[in-house]
Amino acid sequence: MTASTFMYGAQVRANGIRQHYLRYGPGAAQCASRDAVVLVPGITSPAVTWGFVAERFGRHFDTYVLDVRGRGLSEASDTLDYSLDAQAADLIAFAAELGLERFAYAGHSMGGRIAIRAAAQRPAGLTRLVAVDPPVSGPGRRPYPARLPWYVDSIRMARRGISLEDMRTFCPTWSDEQLRLRAQWLHTCDERAIVASFEAFQTDDIHADVARIRVPMLLLTAERGDVVLPADVDELRTLLPALQERRVQGAGHMIPWDNEAGFHAAFGDFLGHPID
Q: Sort strands 63-66 and 17-24 into parallel, antiparallel or unpaired.
A: antiparallel
Q: Rounded to 5 degrees, what angle do the CA atoms 142, 145, 147 make?
A: 125
What H or E segment, with its residue span, contains residue 24? Answer: strand 17-24
pLDDT for the residue 2: 76
pLDDT for the residue 29: 65
> How many whole angstroms separate alpha carbon 70 and alpha carbon 16?
14
pLDDT for 200-218, tens place per residue? 999 999 999 999 999 999 9
CA–chain centroid gap for 189, Å, is 15
Extents of the domains making up the chain: 6-142+204-266
pLDDT for the residue 1: 62
The top-level CATH class assigned to 6-142+204-266 is alpha beta
Q: DSSP letters of 35-88? A: -EEEEE--TT--GGGGHHHHHHHTTTS-EEEE--TTSTTS---TT---SHHHHH
State the DSSP code for 145.
S
Reported as a pLDDT band with limits 50, 70 and 90, residue 28 is: low
> How many whole angstroms separate alpha carbon 144 and alpha carbon 170?
18
> How many whole angstroms separate alpha carbon 78 and alpha carbon 80?
6
**CA-to-CA dists, residue 14 to 69, 88, 95, 164, angstroms:** 11, 12, 9, 35
pLDDT for 32-83, tens place per residue? 789 999 999 999 999 999 999 999 999 999 999 999 999 999 999 999 999 9
Q: Report whether pLDDT(30) > 90.
A: no
Q: Report whether pLDDT(31) > 80.
A: no
Q: Report whether pLDDT(89) > 80.
A: yes
pTM here is 0.97
pLDDT for 150-197, tens place per residue? 999 999 999 999 999 999 999 999 999 999 999 999 999 999 999 999
pLDDT for 108-151, tens place per residue? 999 999 999 999 999 999 999 999 999 999 999 999 999 999 99
pLDDT for the residue 33: 82
With H, G, I as helix, E, B as strand and everything else as coil, classify residue 128. Answer: strand
